[in-house]
Amino acid sequence: MRFIEANAINDHPMIYWGIGTVWALMLFATFFSIRSQASSLWVRFIWLLLVVALPGIGLLLYLLWCLTRFDYSFLKFVVGPPRTVSSKGKGAGA
């Protein structure tokens, strides 16, 4: 219980430095990812503005946008193979 309580023992400056470092690295990676997009300058500006103005929500929305826009192959490792196979992909002899 001491870990989640607001005790003086949990209030160490290194905790805040660690959280700040992780947050700065996340922002750094997001900024360079936005900068490298093949989108128009206006779309990149909107994403940068969103990430700066609403940091947590902006990072989450950008992550979802990237995942849904570019590649779904990571999902097969997360959810596994489909349970049913559709008949559309089968040949005439099946």
> Apex CA 71: angle with CA 48 and CA 27, to 5°?
25
How many whole angstroms separate alpha carbon 44 and alpha carbon 30? 11
pLDDT for residue 67: 76
- In one letter, which amino acid is 80? G
pLDDT for residue 83: 66
- In one letter, which amino acid is 14? M
pLDDT tops 50 at residue 94: no
Per residue in 23-72, pLDDT (tens digit) is 899 888 988 988 888 888 998 999 888 888 887 888 888 888 877 776 66
CB 86 within 8 A of CB 94: no
DSSP assigned state of 88: G
Confidence tier at 85 by pLDDT (50, 70, 90): low
pLDDT for residue 21: 94
